[in-house]
Structure 1
Amino acid sequence: MSEMIVPGTYIDVRAEGLISAGGVATGVVAVVGTARSGPVGTPITLSGFSQARELFGLPDKYSIPEDGSNPLTLVRSLQLAYANGASTVVAVRVASPRAASASYALKDPAGNTLAVLTAATPGTWGNDIQISVSQARTPARIVGEKQTASFAQLGYHSVLPNQQNRIQVLRGDTRRVDNFNLVYRFVARDEAVAKNGGGSYQLANPKVSTVASINSIVVLDGNGSPVRAYGANPPSGVTAGTILYDLAATPALNEIRINPNTSELAFAATQAPAAGQSVVATYAVDHADPAPGEILITVWNGDIDFHAGEAPRAVAGDVLTASYLVEAADSVEVSLTHSQLKESYVVPDGRSLTALAAQSKLVRAVADAGHGSGKPAPDVAAYFGTGSNVGGANGADAGEDEYAGGLEAISNRVVNLVVLGGQDARGMGSVLVGHLKSTEETDLERIGVIGAPGVEIADFLGHSVAEGRLVIVGPGIRNPDGSTLPPAYTAAAVAGLIAAQSVQTSLTNKAINLPGIAVEANRGQQAQLIERNVLTIVSRQGLRVLKGITSEGVGQPFSAIPTRRIVDYAKYGVRSAANPYIGRLNNSRVRAALKATLDAFLTGMVEDEALTGYMLDVTATRAQEIAGQVNVVMTIQPTFSIDFIRVVMTLQ
Structure 2
Amino acid sequence: MSEIITETILPGTYIQVNAEGLLSVGPIATGNVGVVGTAEKGGPEIQTLSGFEEARARFGEMGEWDDGNADDNLTLVRSLKLIFDNGAGTVYGRRVFDPAKAVAATLVVADESSAPAMVLEATTPGAWGNRLQLRIEDAEAQEQVNNEAVVRGNGSFALSAAKLVEPPAATGEDPVVGTVTVRSNGLVNRYQMVKSAAGTQTVRYDAAARTFTFATQPAAAAEVYASYRVPRESLRKVTLRYGNVQEVYVVPSLSYLQQALSDPGNPSTLVRVKQRTADGLPARTATFTAFANGVNGSASTAQFEAALDGLLEQNIQILVVPRPFSEIASRVLAHVERAESLGRERIAVVGADSSAVDRIMANTNDVADKRVVLVAPGLTTRDGETGRTMRLPAYYTAAAVAGKISSLAPHISLTNKTLAGIDGLQAEYNYGDTKALVLNRVLALQRKRGIRVVKGISTDDGAFRQITLRRIVDYVKEGTRQGANQYIGLLNNRRVRENLRTTLDGFLADLVVREYLTGYKLAVFADRPMEIRGEVLVTMDLQPTFCIDVIRVVMNLA
- Mapped to 2, the partners of 1:631 and 1:68 lie a distance apart of 51
Moved more, 91-100 or 609-618: 91-100
Aligned to 2:132: 129
Q: Kindly provide the CA deviation profile for residues 81-127 of structure 1, in whole angstroms up to 9, marking residues without a partner as x.
A: 11112111111111234221101121224454322111112221111
Aligned to 2:254: 350
- Mapped to 1, the partners of 2:187 and 2:520 lie a distance apart of 70
Aligned to 2:407: 500
The answer on whether the counterparts of 2:491 and 2:531 sit within 8 Å (CA) in structure 1 is: no
Aligned to 2:556: none
The amino acid of 1:45's aligned partner reads T
Shift of 1:169: 4.4
The answer on whether the counterparts of 2:40 and 2:127 sit within 8 Å (CA) in structure 1 is: yes
Moved more, 625-634 or 442-451: 625-634
2:46 aligned residue (40, 43, 46): 43
Relative to 1, partners in 2 of residues 1:84 and 1:303: Cα closer, same or farther, differing over 3 Å?
Answer: closer
Aligned to 2:28: 24
The answer on whether the counterparts of 1:149 and 1:313 sit within 8 Å (CA) in structure 2 is: no
- Mapped to 2, the partners of 1:638 and 1:623 lie a distance apart of 33
Moved more, 520-529 or 88-97: 88-97
Identity rate, percent? 36
Q: Kindly provide the CA deviation profile for residues 529-588 of structure 1, in whole angstroms up to 9, marking residues without a partner as x.
A: 0122110001233322111111122xx121111111111111111111111111115122
1:472 aligned residue (355, 374, 384): 374
The answer on whether the counterparts of 2:159 and 2:211 sit within 8 Å (CA) in structure 1 is: no
Are positions 1:179 and 2:190 aligned together?
A: yes
In structure 2, stretches of 5+ residues that fail to align are 168-175, 383-387, 549-558
Relative to 1, partners in 2 of residues 1:594 and 1:299: Cα closer, same or farther, differing over 3 Å?
Answer: same
Aligned to 1:79: 81
Aligned residues: 521
The answer on whether the counterparts of 2:152 and 2:158 sit within 8 Å (CA) in structure 1 is: no
Aligned to 2:493: 587
The amino acid of 2:314's aligned partner reads R
The answer on whether the counterparts of 2:458 and 2:465 sit within 8 Å (CA) in structure 1 is: yes
Relative to 1, partners in 2 of residues 1:512 and 1:164: Cα closer, same or farther, differing over 3 Å?
Answer: farther
Aligned to 2:165: 160
Give SS of 1:430's match. Answer: helix
Relative to 1, partners in 2 of residues 1:112 and 1:9: Cα closer, same or farther, differing over 3 Å?
Answer: same
The answer on whether the counterparts of 1:44 and 1:90 sit within 8 Å (CA) in structure 2 is: yes
The answer on whether the counterparts of 2:133 and 2:291 sit within 8 Å (CA) in structure 1 is: no
Shift of 1:12: 0.6
Higher helix fraction: Structure 1 or Structure 2? 2
Q: Which protein has greater RCO, CA pairs closer than 8 Å, 6+ apart?
A: 1
Moved more, 340-349 or 131-140: 131-140
Shift of 1:318: 6.0
Are positions 1:324 and 2:242 aligned together?
A: no
TM-score, L = length of structure 2: 0.87
Aligned to 1:601: 507
Give SS of 1:295's match. Answer: strand
Shift of 1:164: 7.8
Shift of 1:441: 1.1
Shift of 1:150: 4.5
Relative to 1, partners in 2 of residues 1:551 and 1:9: Cα closer, same or farther, differing over 3 Å?
Answer: same
The amino acid of 2:330's aligned partner reads S
- Mapped to 1, the partners of 2:464 and 2:95 lie a distance apart of 31
The amino acid of 1:433's aligned partner reads L
- Mapped to 2, the partners of 1:176 and 1:526 lie a distance apart of 75
Shift of 1:641: 5.8
Q: Kindly provide the CA deviation profile for residues 64-89 of structure 1, in whole angstroms up to 9, marking residues without a partner as x.
A: 69x99721111111111111121111
Aligned to 1:89: 91
The answer on whether the counterparts of 1:140 and 1:348 sit within 8 Å (CA) in structure 2 is: no
1:562 aligned residue (441, 460, 468): 468
Aligned to 2:350: 450
Aligned to 1:647: none
Shift of 1:600: 0.9
Shift of 1:140: 6.4
Aligned to 1:141: 145
Are positions 1:296 and 2:166 aligned together?
A: no
Aligned to 2:171: none
Shift of 1:303: 3.0
Moved more, 76-85 or 50-59: 50-59
Shift of 1:292: 6.4
Relative to 1, partners in 2 of residues 1:176 and 1:55: Cα closer, same or farther, differing over 3 Å?
Answer: closer
- Mapped to 1, the partners of 2:14 and 2:531 lie a distance apart of 28
The amino acid of 1:18's aligned partner reads L
Relative to 1, partners in 2 of residues 1:169 and 1:525: Cα closer, same or farther, differing over 3 Å?
Answer: closer
2:478 aligned residue (557, 562, 572): 572
- Mapped to 1, the partners of 2:43 and 2:225 lie a distance apart of 37
Moved more, 442-451 or 114-123: 114-123
Give SS of 1:181's match. Answer: strand
Are positions 1:53 and 2:64 aligned together?
A: no
Give SS of 1:637's match. Answer: strand
The amino acid of 1:183's aligned partner reads V
Aligned to 2:308: 407
The answer on whether the counterparts of 1:41 and 1:409 sit within 8 Å (CA) in structure 2 is: no
Aligned to 1:648: none
Are positions 1:424 and 2:338 aligned together?
A: no
Aligned to 1:108: 111
TM-score, L = length of structure 1: 0.75
Give SS of 1:153's match. Answer: strand
Q: Which has the larger radius of gyration?
A: 1
The amino acid of 2:104's aligned partner reads S
Are positions 1:5 and 2:9 aligned together?
A: yes
Moved more, 435-444 or 52-61: 52-61
Q: Kindly provide the CA deviation profile for residues 429-480 of structure 1, in whole angstroms up to 9, marking residues without a partner as x.
A: 2221111111111110100001111132222122122211100001111225
Shift of 1:627: 2.1
The amino acid of 1:100's aligned partner reads V
Relative to 1, partners in 2 of residues 1:590 and 1:149: Cα closer, same or farther, differing over 3 Å?
Answer: farther
Relative to 1, partners in 2 of residues 1:414 and 1:149: Cα closer, same or farther, differing over 3 Å?
Answer: same
Aligned to 1:398: 299
Aligned to 2:440: 532
> Counterparts in 2 of 1:506-545, with a 5 A limit?
506-513=413-420, 514-545=422-453
The amino acid of 1:531's aligned partner reads L
Moved more, 145-154 or 582-591: 145-154
- Mapped to 1, the partners of 2:335 and 2:184 lie a distance apart of 56
